[in-house]
Amino acid sequence: MKKSIVFLSILATSSLFSENRLFDCTKIFEERKSELLLELERINDREQALYDLKEATNRLLKKKKEKLDKQEAEINRKLKLIEEKEQNTKNMLAENRKVLEEIKKIKLDKVSTTYSKMKPKSAAAILAELDPKIAVNVLLKIKPKTLSKIFAKMDPVKASELTRLLAETKENNGSI
């Protein structure tokens, strides 16, 4: 753009002046020509430097993106492992709860069997002293015939309370 402005100004100036002046203009133009060529070379150098900077920046951004992509992939892999471990832990916990419930049931069955084999008077005395919820859980496992013998030997008030709790438990499908 600078070249064309300079060139136009030289043309305009040269047409206004005479032949003698034309030689002076040509001389001036020749002197300025080297300056203009130097300026053009500097502009080209700056343009090349800018292009090189742009390329270097693009390479750097590409490397950073690749690094971030690798880090993201690693994080996703670790997250997946954590989720798998969490699911395994939940599964083990659920399985442990089932086993614990089964152990409690077996334990309660054994306790109930023990009370069933005891003399009704002894069983009644012990069950009367137990926490009512525990006593009801034990009584739920005892056969009705044995249960009636135990209640017969128990204090009527305590037998009435346990009978009421048994009835409520059976209405609530086995939960007190």
- Taking the whole predicted model, whether its pTM rises above 0.75 is answered as no
Residue ranges per domain, the chain? 118-176
| pLDDT score at 4 | 57
| pLDDT score at 90 | 97
For residue 61, pLDDT over 90 is answered with: yes
For residue 23, pLDDT over 80 is answered with: no
Structure tokens at 138: 């034990």
For residue 5, pLDDT over 90 is answered with: no
Element (H, E) at 132: helix 132-140
101-126 pLDDT, tens digit each: 999 999 988 988 888 898 999 998 99
Contact residues for 139 (Cβ-Cβ < 8 A; gap 6+): 112, 127, 147, 150, 162, 166
Average pLDDT, the chain: 85
For residue 68, pLDDT over 60 is answered with: yes
CA distance 128 to 161: 10
Query: 84 vs 140, which has greater pLDDT?
Result: 84
What is the band of 20 on the pLDDT scale with cuts at 50, 70, 90?
Answer: low
DSSP single-letter state for residue 141: T
Structure tokens at 140: 């739920």
For residue 141, pLDDT over 80 is answered with: yes
Selection from 81-85, 116-120, 131-135 with the highest mean pLDDT: 81-85
For residue 91, pLDDT over 70 is answered with: yes
The separation between CA 81 and the C-alpha centre of its own chain, rounded to angstroms, equals 11
Question: What does the pLDDT average to over 53-57?
Answer: 95
